[in-house]
Amino acid sequence: MTDVEKRPAAGGARSDEVRNEAGRRRTFAVISHPDAGKSTLTEALALHAAAINTAGAVHGKAGRRGVTSDWMAMEKDRGISITSAVLKFDYDGHVLNLLDTPGHADFSEDTYRVLEAVDCAIMLLDSAKGLEPQTLKLFDVCRSRHVPVVTFVNKWDRPGREPLELLDEIEQRIGLRPTPLNWPVGIAGDFRGLIERTSGEYTAYTRQPGGAQKALEEVFKDPEEARKREGAAYDAAEEELALLTEIGAVVDMPSFLAGESSPVLFGAALPNFGVRRLLDAMCDLAPAPKPRADVEGDERPVEAPFSGLVFKVQANMDPAHRDRVAFVRVCSGRFERGMVLTHAATGRPFATKYAQAMFGQERETLETAFPGDVIGLVNATALRPGDTLYADQPVSYPPIPSFAPEHFAVVRCRDAGKYKQFRRGIDQLDTEGVVQVLSSDLRGDQAPVLAAVGPLQFDVVMHRLEHEFGAKSELAHLDYELARLTDEAGTEALKGARGAEVLTRRLDGALLALFADKWRLNAIKRDNPSLRLDPLLAGTATE
């Protein structure tokens, strides 16, 4: 045994223990366009891993409960995911950390933060719609972060497109070579079952009433028995499989991990068809946690002393306690509840007495955690997304950038007597990253300017101000579309300029110049060529 293997990691854990535990972890997100079935798939995965007993419904139909990952009141009312959620459960000797993400483009910044915390992603496609705009944008984020992608073609129980057509679209539009693991028998809308490419086994599915329980599976090891059962549909599937073999569309781990190919599986999340196979694939294919690069570009080994990245902050998950939870991805070492860590941004100590494991809105006390796990640190008022925590050996991971806002509005509290609650709510939502809060000398603190990637973020702010902080407010939209970073010289040059304004971004003090449109921006740049007007990270994640 080498000296490195003998050296204890944080909390007294030996390096080999940390490596072994990290090797059991699979931390992944589900990404998709809205309405592709992401929350339904998340629920089905938890059901098949026996983490829940009954799968909920996105809209709570037929008396079924709602899905575990959509716990906010707005999510239940609208049937869409607004904030990301973490579900941790065991499956087949592995520890799975599943992160459900918002699909709507207006909440893409939250999804971006989640993708900073995962090692793999499931790209969910609607069998009828294929690659949709938001799916393309999220895949670009995965590509930029070198996150390998497994593709799951969903809703095969409904009318849709030809499977070979979908594979061709994946390759042509995003340059990702699709390599199917299984193949559907029966066209979309007439789903019979799945053929496993490596073994040739055929699994037929029978839906349970309402889809709240696992579908019944019948496995045929003899192709002739499967052919007798399914007839021409099975013959057609075998012909397509032969074509895939001929063109060499087989799973290749190096190209998958390099982001050049994507294993593809078919199924239907609502009736739970093909979900168990997807779970197995994530255990087999998704990479375990690996060393993470710090701000200097040096990689910190997983067996190094504890370090973690804060990728999300959420307040009032438990309305009875009004707490604030920081979600921390363990990057290295062993975490033990009660450890005193160092907050890299301030150098101050941070106690971890209240550490919890998250399962949607539910949580329980967590004693230990390893690389790949997500820790919920309660009442973490000093933490914000992008912060680093560490033990023993200092480290700072690259910060998580903010997207360029494209929508702006002034918010005011309707009741002057509720101003303290209003300010507390605005400051809280700002530090969570729900919206960017800007201030200006012109309007003062009583009328902050909200800057958002999409207008639905304003709805979340107004709802939470009223229902969580008791400060009902009103919103007035501003006629700006673009934001650029500027400096004091830019502030002076833009004073009184038509269609432009400079505001201070509250938390980091940066000066943001707002413009009515790109033509106004270009005109001002033409008249002031030396003016500093730097772009922010694009909200589309493609620029």
Binding-site members for GTP are 100-104
Contacts of 511 (CB under 8 A, 6+ apart): 485, 486, 487, 488, 490, 491, 502, 503, 504, 505
Count CA atoms within 13 Å of residue 409 on its CB side: 19
* Amino acid at the residue 169: E
* Amino acid at the residue 477: H
Query: Which residue's entry shows tokens 């230990």?
Result: 368
Q: Is 541 left (phi over 0), alpha (psi -120 to 50) or beta?
A: left
* Count of H-run helices and E-run strands, the chain: 15, 31
Query: Which residue's entry shows tokens 């944080």?
Result: 10
Pairwise CA distance, residues 169 & 257, whole Å = 21
Two tokens, residue 436: 């960017």
Ramachandran angles phi, psi of 298, nearest 5°: -85, 140
Contacts of 322 (CB under 8 A, 6+ apart): 315, 316, 468
Q: For residues 128 and 160, is the Cβ–Cβ distance under 8 A?
A: yes
Q: Which of 278, 275, 274 is nearest to 192 (CA)?
A: 274
Rg, the chain, Cα only = 25
Question: Exposed, middle or buried: residue 496 (CB in 10 Å: 0-12, 13-18, 19+)?
Answer: exposed
521 membership: H or E segment, kind and range: helix 518-527
Contacts of 387 (CB under 8 A, 6+ apart): 309, 310, 326, 343, 344, 345
Detail the residues annotated as belonging to a binding site.
100-104
Q: Which of 372, 179, 168, 172 is nearest to 258 (CA)?
A: 179
Q: For residues 360 and 353, is the Cβ–Cβ distance under 8 A?
A: no
Pairwise CA distance, residues 330 & 310, whole Å = 9
Q: For residues 255 and 176, is the Cβ–Cβ distance under 8 A?
A: no
Q: For residues 131 and 124, is the Cβ–Cβ distance under 8 A?
A: no
Two tokens, residue 103: 């699909």
